[in-house]
Every structure is written in C-alpha cells, then in structure tokens.
A and B are shown apart, each in its own frame.
Chain A
Amino acid sequence: MPVDIYWRIGTHGDQPSLRRRTPTRGDWAPLAPGNLAPGVRDDYSYLEHMADVARAGEGAGFAGGLLPSFPNTDDPWATAASLGRETSTYRFMIAFQPGFLHPVQAARMTATLQRATGGRVVYNVISGGGGPDQLWWGDKVGHDDRYARTSEFLDVLRGVWGGAPYSFDGRFYRVEGARLPEPLRGQPFPEIYFSGSSPAAIEAAGRHADYYLSWLEPFHALEEKFARVRERSLTPPKFAVRIDVLARESEREAWAEIEQGWDNIDPSVLRGATGDSIGWQRSQSFVTGPVSGHRDLEVTPNVWGGFHLLRGGPAFGLVGSYAQVAARLDELIALGVGAFILAGVPHLEEAYRVGENVLPLVKGIS
C-alpha cells in the first residue's frame, strides 16, 4: 500500500539549523542581519517563504505539507487558501481545533477550498493541549469534553456535507436543515488525521480518523498505542507518525550536528511545558536515568528524545545517516504506519535533502 509522506511548513518562522535556537526566517523574531523573508520590503511577506517551502516539498516528492496552528503562528486556513493555486499536486494538511470554527462554516470553507485546489485539503484535527493556550483561544471546555466536542463537530460536518437537509441537536452543536449549497456539493471529503493520546482521544479517533496521528515515540510504545487504538475502533484507522529528522550522509555527521546544538542549550528550556496533553507527559516518561550528554536521550537506535530542546515541538525524532533514517522509517511501516509527517530545519533546504537522499532509500513507500 502506498505510504503518504508529508513535510511540515513552519507557520511560525524557521531557524537555520539545530545548532542554535535563533529564528532567522520571517518576521517572527526581531529583524537582524541575515534574517530572510522578513516581510518589510514591497509588501512581500512571510507567505512568500511558506510558498517556497510548499514548492520545495512538491518538487522533492512529498504528498503535501502540514500547516501547524498555535497562538503565535500564521493561520493554516488563511495560508492554504492563499497558496492553493501555487502548487498542483501538493496537499494542504490544515491543523485546526474544532471548537473554534462552527462545523457548518468548516464544511463551507473546506468545500470551497476543495473546489479551488482540486480536492487537496487534508485535516489535522487537534483537540487542544489545554493550559493557558486553551484560554488564550477563548476555550474553557475541559480535556475529555473537548474530544466529545470534536466528535460532535465531525458528525455535523459529515452530516451537512451532502445535499439533504440535516438536523442535529447535541451538547455542543445544534443545526436545523443544514446542507451544503449546490455549487459546493460533490467534493471529496478530506482525509482526517486525528491526534491525541488519552483514552478520550483514542475513543474519538476510532469513530472519525482515517489516520491516527502520533508524535514519534520509542517503537515499542508506538506499537502498544496502535494496538490500543485498534482494540477500541470498530473500523481501525491507518496510522501516521509525525517525526523530526536530522539525517546526514554519515551517522557521525548527524550526531555532530546534534552535539553542537546540545552545547548551546539554554538551561531554562530544560524546564518542562504545561498543559493537560497526555502526549507530552508520555514523551517525558521514556527517558530514564541521568542525562549527562546528548546520547543519553537516544532511547533506541537513532530515536532521540531531545529535539524539543533544540527547537519548538515534540521531543522525539530520528537522528542518523540517510540509510539509518530510511531503515527506521521502514521499520515503522512494518509496524503498520501508513503515513509520515516529516520535518527538519531549515524546512526549505531539508525538504530537498530528505526528499533527495532519504525517501529514495525507503523500501516500503510504494
């Protein structure tokens, strides 16, 4: 079965390497010498750079790109709707939290965008990490209820997708006689990548997900997680993993790059994040024993749990030679993984590097 491989687009600027956490792309950091695409000349904006990353992803053989959504990022809907015409096969994986958009509006936006792009919209449905960010967005709904709301949201979205009048009266949403209008009907319903590690998330994923999406974890932990999702699903979803990749010609070069980043870590970033995300708590539990050097976070070969210290985002990723990283991806495919969302900084150049050097070595892609 073909495996879809996506590449991430940074909707919050970019950094030139993992060696230091100095953002130099876009206007997400104070303007400094060497800062590219700052958005101050001729009304050119950071969008121009995101367009370049999308074109690079398409050129390097990726199926599409994930557009993440956090309080301080550009918005994925706005970005996808702006860039739709600038690629031809590239799929836009739009991250969004169901609570913030009404499902009828989401259906209308999606169908309009499907028309404009020839059906290249993919959903990354996230139900929120909790904590202060959730309140920043204006969302007070608690953890388990957010998944119940996500479930209702997707029920309503599917309900109105057809042409027949649809009514629904739930805990979070109520509609009467809703339907997509004639010009918007008949578009393909987007594939749903569904994130969340808690029992409530897995329950909801079992009902709605095409792909159950997890951050990378040590493979045995992923295997157990997938088994739990399979158990709880009437129709088990496919599996997808979001992975940061640091791949070089040789293993030695790859680790040398990590080591340079490690030596520059600001001790304050070692303090953990907040929120009620189970995924985050899980990732913290895999590292046991004292950490005195960067290789102490390599919990299994090439699976390194320190990426969050070198850039924003999840902890685990793959570090190694092109061949090693490709072999690990093949192992994941053997565990049942049907799609990857890969990422690396800087996103533009690394899209080409990974597309040209790693993907051709992955045997299980097609």
Chain B
Amino acid sequence: MAEFFITLPSKGQRRGGDHLLQVGRAAELAGYTGAYAPFDPEGEESLVIAAGLLRQTRYLRLLAGFHPGIATPVYAAKVAASLQRFSGDRLDWRIDVDLEPAVARAHGDFTEGADRYARAEEFLTIAKGVWHQRDYTHEGRHYQVLSGGFAAPLSGRAFPRVHLSGTSPEALALSLRHADVHVFDHGDDLSLTAELPGLAYGLRLAVHARETEKEAARDGFDGLAGSYESIARRLRDYIDQGVEVFYLEATPYLEETYRLGEHLLPLLAREDVHAG
C-alpha cells in the first residue's frame, strides 16, 4: 500500500484563524498517511508547525523538512525525542542538504559542495548515535559529543524516518547510509533506484485533478494534470516502478486535500483502506 503525504501551506496562513490546523485535520479525515511541512526559507518553520499538528491529530504522520545547519544533531534529536514521545512516534525528518548557496548563507551555512553531504552524514550519524546508545562519543569535523546518549524515557522511541533526496553520487551515498526513503522529484530518472537497494522510494508531485480531462487542462503546469482516473493510472505506473511514498501538492490546500482524499485516493486504495 502506497503512502500519501499532502504538502502543507508554509507561506503564512493568509486565510487567518487557524487555517493550517484545518488542513492538517482535513488530511487526517481524508485518510492520508501524513502531512509534509517543507523547509521553506520564505515560509514558516516546519518543526514548530509539525509539533502543533502532531498534538492536534491522532493518526497523521508529520514530515518536517529542515537542513542540517539549524541545530546541533544532539539538539535536533532531543526535540525529535520529545515529539515522538508526545505523538506516538509520528514524526518523520526530511533533510534538505542541497540548498541554494544564497539561501544557505542567509541561514548561516557556508559549507559548500560535497562537503555538505559529509556534514549531513555526521549530523545523522550523531543524531542516531545519541538516540540509540548510552555513553556515546563522536569526535567529528563538524560536531562532537562526549559521553552522550539519551536515557529513559527519552530513549527507546522510534527514530524519525529519514527522507533524503538528490541524484549526485554523494547524495546517493548518503541515502544508502541513512535514508529510509529516497525522494525523487517529478521528472527525475527513476532508474536510479537500482543504485539504492533496500530503501523505499518517494516522489514529489504537484497534481491538478478534476472530474474530466477537459476541466483539468492547465497550460504550463509542472506536475500531473488530468482526470481522477488518469492521474490514478499515472500513480499506479509509478507504484509499479517501485514508488511507495507520494508527496502530493495541490492548491488551494484545504479544498484540494479534501478533493484528492475523496476522488483520487479511493482509486488507489485497497478495499480495506477505510476499515483500518
């Protein structure tokens, strides 16, 4: 059974009130696996968004996007440990390694090129080290820990599932070591999955779905536009190619979360999806 995450609005809640909360609840009602709060330099901060929505939902997973420069790996792991405790292990991490250089520098990150992947590698190694071990010591190039590691009850929770992306050799190597899900963008060469044995594969997709092909037609749309049936067919093709996790994006967020939940997901669900 494929997993479906719906992408959350990140550029402020222009509708006021608590629109984000509505979208999160819609995602839960509509039967999505989770909601994706992306790292958006022009938008709200994803871990705070994820924490709030984890508290306001019961089953929905929250995928929070961030880059390794935001915090020490020990601190990032500690925040995650509390969120896993509070939510029953519903937090996922989407680590964005390949930032635009100007965006990276504006966030205090001057690491460049392949070195960014080495740093991300160290970040995840230490985060997992303190999560799973006591008396954990790691003296790295970017971070160090001396006799660290979480004690009960911070210990023992599921480490957040790690979603990583990228098509460079460094990116693939990092995914092999640390990813649970390797994320492709629409248009990426999916044959790269051959180089990533043992991982789940994810795909980011903007979708514009309507009753008929004619209604759904949009010029210059970078994603899948079409009838519910034709989009379902395309997604099934991807599933046949090994994709197990979809990160759908559709606006306006609230209405389209309902629409896709009502019209698209049922076409892809096993018959027992609503019984579970």
Contacts and interface: CB of A to CB of B under 8 A. Distances in A.
Interface of A: 26-28, 39, 43, 45-47, 71-72, 74-75, 77-79, 81-85, 99-105, 108-109, 111-113, 115-116, 132, 135-140, 156, 165, 173-179, 181-184
A181 B148 contact: no
Contacts of A176: 102, 105-106
B81 interface: yes
B12 A182 contact: yes
A198 B209 CA distance: 63
18 contacts: A45-B87, A74-B86, A77-B51, A81-B47, A102-B70, A102-B107, A102-B108, A109-B47, A136-B147, A137-B75, A138-B73, A140-B144, A176-B102, A176-B105, A176-B106, A177-B105, A178-B106, A181-B41
Contacts of B55: 47, 82-83, 85
B99 interface: no
B114 interface: no
Contact of B82 (A78, A101, A112, A113): A78
Given A176-B106, A177-B106, A105 B71 contact: yes
A44 to B, nearest CB: 9
Nearest to A184: B44
A176 B54 CA distance: 33
A175 B108 contact: yes
A80 B236 CA distance: 41
Contact of B74 (A137, A175, A181): A137
B260 interface: no
Contacts of B152: 27
B78 interface: yes
Given A74-B82, A184-B45, 10 more contacts: A45-B87, A45-B88, A75-B79, A78-B83, A109-B47, A115-B13, A137-B75, A137-B148, A138-B72, A182-B42
B75 A82 contact: no
Question: B102, B110, B145: which has the most chain A beta carbons within 10 Å?
Answer: B145
Nearest to B101: A176
A164 to B, nearest CB: 12
B146 A136 contact: yes
A103 B82 CA distance: 21
Interface in B14-31: 18, 21
Contacts of B148: 135-138
B61 to A, nearest CB: 13
